[in-house]
Amino acid sequence: GESVGLHLPTLSVQEGDNSIINCAYSNSASDYFIWYKQESGKGPQFIIDIRSNMDKRQGQRVTVLLNKTVKHLSLQIAATQPGDSAVYFCAEIEIQGAQKLVFGQGTRLTINP
Amino acid sequence: NAGVMQNPRHLVRRRGQEARLRCSPMKGHSHVYWYRQLPEEGLKFMVYLQKENIIDESGMPKERFSAEFPKEGPSILRIQQVVRGDSAAYFCASSLQQVANTEAFFGQGTRLTVV
């Protein structure tokens, strides 16, 4: 089975608020993590990544936090907009192992106007 | 530079027929990955190919499924004698190098419906 899982399948936030999407992983050998956004009817789109030698990385309105001790990562989206409504997946790679992305189940984020 | 192109976008097959899904990677990309996605679920890895070679097929069902990435032309995911349980969205991704070193880009997927 997959080694990456998410705490919440759905999340609703008000437009303009911040959102936090969580992800737990079980493979302690995983050392590279990526967040993807998937809009309805489309393929996954890269948002942000983080390697295991970091615990935080920021992009435009997005921040990823990695806690290797408890094998948890999160995606924070600031000042959410209607276009942020989508399903968000975390994925992991074991750099020295199988060169493939392992995806979690996903969280559906809905931005309410 | 066009993105990853998958065709057809939608495919309907009767039980027992064959389904052929095509994926043209981004220009210059020699690494191709196929994933399957059931409704409201994550993407499940199927196979990883690198020009003419199958690198990892640990996610491929043992029977009826095959994949190829010839020297010329698109990558093909072939499903023989389809059953209703094969109904899903199939996504292809490509990358310039191994995914640990470079971004993988996904296509829009092929939605297979078996009736």
Is B100–A32 a contact, with Cβ atoms under 8 angstroms apart? Answer: yes
Percent of chain B with pLDDT over 70: 99
Is A45–B104 a contact, with Cβ atoms under 8 angstroms apart? Answer: no
Size of interface A-B (CB pairs under 8 A): 57
Of A45, A101, A106, Cβ closest to residue B99:
A101
Residues of B in contact with A98 (CB under 8 A): 56, 58
At residue A5, does pLDDT exceed 70?
Answer: no
Residues of B in contact with A24 (CB under 8 A): none
Counting other chains too, the contacts that B76-81 makes at CB distance below 8 Å and 24 or more residues apart are: B76/B20, B76/B21, B76/B22, B76/B23, B77/B20, B77/B21, B77/B23, B77/B34, B77/B46, B77/B47, B78/B18, B78/B19, B78/B20, B78/B21, B79/B18, B79/B19, B79/B20, B79/B21, B79/B112, B80/B18, B81/B16, B81/B17, B81/B18
Is A42–B4 a contact, with Cβ atoms under 8 angstroms apart? Answer: no
At residue B16, does pLDDT exceed 50?
Answer: yes
Predicted local distance difference test score (pLDDT) of residue A7: 46
Which tens digit of pLDDT belongs to each residue from B18-59?
Answer: 999 999 999 999 999 999 998 878 899 999 999 889 999 999
Of A98, A99, A104, Cβ closest to residue B42:
A104
Of B35, B41, B99, Cβ closest to residue A105:
B41
* A93 interfaces chain B, CB cutoff of 8 Å: yes
Predicted local distance difference test score (pLDDT) of residue A105: 79
Is B56–A93 a contact, with Cβ atoms under 8 angstroms apart? Answer: no
* A103 interfaces chain B, CB cutoff of 8 Å: yes
Is B108–A42 a contact, with Cβ atoms under 8 angstroms apart? Answer: yes
Mean pLDDT over residues B98-108, rounded?
A: 88
Predicted local distance difference test score (pLDDT) of residue A2: 42
Which tens digit of pLDDT belongs to each residue from A38-87?
Answer: 999 999 999 999 999 999 999 999 999 999 999 999 999 999 999 999 99
Mean pLDDT over residues A5-28, rounded?
A: 85
Which tens digit of pLDDT belongs to each residue from A101-112?
Answer: 999 879 999 999
CA of A34: how far to CAs of A66, A102, B14, B31, B60, in Å? Answer: 11, 10, 37, 18, 23
